[in-house]
Amino acid sequence: MNNFIYYNPTAILFGRGQADAVGERMAPLGRNILLLSGGASAERSGLLDRVREKLRTAGVAYTELPGVKPNPVIEKVREGAALCKSRRLDAVLSVGGGSVLDSAKVIASAARHEGDPWELLAKKIKPANPLPVGCVLTLAATGSEANGNAVISNPATAQKLAWYHPQAYPRFSILDPELTFTVPREHTAYGAVDIMAHVFEQYFHDVQATPLQDGVAETVLRTVAATAPIAMARPDDYASRANLMWASTLALHGVVGAGVVGDWTCHMLEHELSAKYDIAHGAGLAVVYPAWMELMAPRKPARFRQFAVNAWGIDPRGRDDLAVAREGVAATRSFFRDTLGVGVRLSDYGIAPDRLNEMAQAVYDLKGPTGLGGLTREDLERVYRGAL
Ligand code: NZQ
Ligand code: ZN
């Protein structure tokens, strides 16, 4: 196991009714806050009204900024940061999924930055003492609720860039599984793919002697495989929504990745797809990951064999590692396509091969050869082509 620093300052309030604590949790962080939300879902479900009432009761004044869209764009961040500055707001509350929360984190830092907010992402700037961020989460997927990451798109440059700031972790995240009962089928599925993908990124490493990390990772995968289909069939099944929500947090709040080496190539390949074609993050991952696994399984057969056996329950007897590994890859693609009903080919999203070269180059330019788990520029394009 490698050396590591585990750091996670986010307080998690998990379970039924926890959203009622939003006022008392927010009040110590700010008395004049930005209330950030997405499209219509939180209004429609009554959640926003409930949050407003709790804020008022706790003596917290708020300026509302709705309209953060999936694959959140920098223009909304600019709007939010300008409001924070002009109205001297002192904290940001995110009510929504990962897109709202990622925007909230960057707004909170951009409020402390003199230049354009896009500079934070493009130049990896981390302003000191960003505004504190609180979160009421409505979708299980990203793990953003307990990490310092944000991912923002810039249509003007056709980029979608990830950013990390150790001071960007939400101060608290309210995880009430009942708030996810209204998540549509396809977004429940995309969320399940994303949770699994976060585990994959931190699982196929070469670090030795990591049985604890492996075990947590494999358990998260089995939990998602068991519960996502139930949540899709019965959206108000509390147990499956609860397990998915906690799996989302566990996958990307630092424990699975502690002491190992994360990869994140597939996330970068996906972010290019979202940047160029505005497809959902989970949809892009369902396309990229099986193709990446097909390339990588022959390079790491023993590791992929372990994955096949422990994540998918494949019986390895009588076969060599690679044969078992390949069955694990097929099981992954089949779970995405047949069980979750998510497209696993670029053509499923109407994406033609004309920009694959350009996208592979963009990923390569961002990360370079050492940051890509040994993958060459040609390998990156091979992954895209394998997903056609
Ligand atoms: O906008 P509204 O009306 O709320 O609708 C949203 C949106 O259409 C809807 N939704 C959310 N909660 C709902 C609901 N609909 C009904 N009931 C609810 N309770 O779901 C749709 C998708 O929402 P979004 O926030 O975009 O989804 P998600 O949470 O999957 O976030 C995706 C974004 O996070 C980034 C992705 O790249 C993508 O931009 N990521 C962030 C990460 C991080 N910060 O650590 C890591 C991830 O790998 C990922 O890259
Ligand atoms: Zn992701």
| Last residue within a domain, chosen from 119, 148, 179 | 179
123 and 228 assigned to the same domain: no
- Domain assignment of residue 2, yes or no: no
DSSP-derived letter for residue 85 is H
Residue ranges with strand state E in 38-194? 61-65, 91-96, 133-137, 149-154, 159-164, 172-175
207 and 316 assigned to the same domain: yes
Within 13 Å of residue 58, how many CA atoms lie on the same side as its CB? 23
- pLDDT of amino acid 371: 64
15 and 141 assigned to the same domain: yes
- Residue that the structure tokens 């699994």 belong to: 196
- Domain assignment of residue 6, yes or no: no
Full-model pTM = 0.98
CA 93 to chain centre: 18
- pLDDT of amino acid 372: 66
- pLDDT of amino acid 369: 65
Mutate to test the pocket of ligand 1, among 50, 144, 201, 249 (most ligand atoms within 8 A of CB): 144
- Domain assignment of residue 142, yes or no: yes
56 and 154 assigned to the same domain: yes
Q: How many domains does the chain have?
A: 2
| Last residue within a domain, chosen from 118, 149, 179 | 179
As given in the structure block, the two tokens for residue 119 are 């500079």
Nearest ligand 1 atom to alpha carbon 182: 17
How far apart are the CA of 190 and the centre of ligand 1, in A? 9
Dihedral angle over CA of 269, 270, 271, 277, nearest 10: 110
- pLDDT of amino acid 143: 98
Which contacts of 43-47 are long-range, i.e. CB under 8 A and separated by 24 or more positions?
44/182, 45/138, 45/179, 45/182, 47/19, 47/95, 47/136, 47/138, 47/179
Best CA proximity match to 121, nearest among 136, 110, 129, 135: 110
- Say if CB 266 and CB 367 are below 8 A apart: no
Give the burial string for 84-112 (b: 16+ CB within 10 Å, else e): beeeebbbbbbbbbbbbbbbbbbbbbbbb
Give me the CATH number covering residue 277: 1.20.1090.10
pLDDT tens per residue across all 388 residues of the chain: 999 999 999 999 999 999 999 999 999 999 999 999 999 999 999 999 999 999 999 999 999 999 999 999 999 999 999 999 999 999 999 999 999 999 999 999 999 999 999 999 999 999 999 999 999 999 999 999 999 999 999 999 999 999 999 999 999 999 999 999 999 999 999 999 999 999 999 999 999 999 999 999 999 999 999 999 999 999 999 999 999 999 999 999 999 999 999 999 999 999 999 999 999 999 999 999 999 999 999 999 999 999 999 999 999 999 999 999 999 999 999 999 999 999 999 999 999 999 999 999 999 988 776 666 778 999 999 999 999 9
As given in the structure block, the two tokens for residue 349 are 């999203």
Question: In which domain, by residue range, is 91 found?
Answer: 11-179
Closest ligand to Cα 98: 1
291 and 376 assigned to the same domain: yes
Best CA proximity match to 106, nearest among 142, 130, 138, 137: 130
- pLDDT of amino acid 179: 98
Closest ligand to Cα 180: 1
CA 320 to chain centre: 34
How far apart are the CA of 138 and the centre of ligand 1, in A? 8
Nearest ligand 1 atom to alpha carbon 42: 4
Nearest ligand 1 atom to alpha carbon 197: 48
What is each CA distance from 291 to 36, 189, 269, 285, in whole angstroms? 36, 19, 11, 10
| Last residue within a domain, chosen from 130, 157, 179 | 179
| Pocket lined around ligand 1, Cβ cut-off 6 Å | 38-42, 70-72, 96-100, 102, 138-139, 141-144, 147, 149-151, 179-180, 182-184, 187, 191, 194, 252, 267, 281
Q: 164 forms bridges with which residues in the sheet?
A: 149
189 and 175 assigned to the same domain: no
How far apart are the CA of 150 and the centre of ligand 2, in A? 10
The contacts of residue 373 (CB under 8 Å, 6+ apart) are 204, 263, 265
- Domain assignment of residue 150, yes or no: yes
Give me the CATH number covering residue 41: 3.40.50.1970
Distance CA 332, CA 326 (A): 10
As given in the structure block, the two tokens for residue 98 are 């990962």
211 and 284 assigned to the same domain: yes
Nearest ligand 1 atom to alpha carbon 180: 19
Mutate to test the pocket of ligand 1, among 100, 107, 138, 277 (most ligand atoms within 8 A of CB): 138
- pLDDT of amino acid 255: 95
Q: Could you tell me where the DSSP H helices lie in 162-264? A: 185-201, 211-233, 238-251
- Domain assignment of residue 5, yes or no: no
- Domain assignment of residue 4, yes or no: no
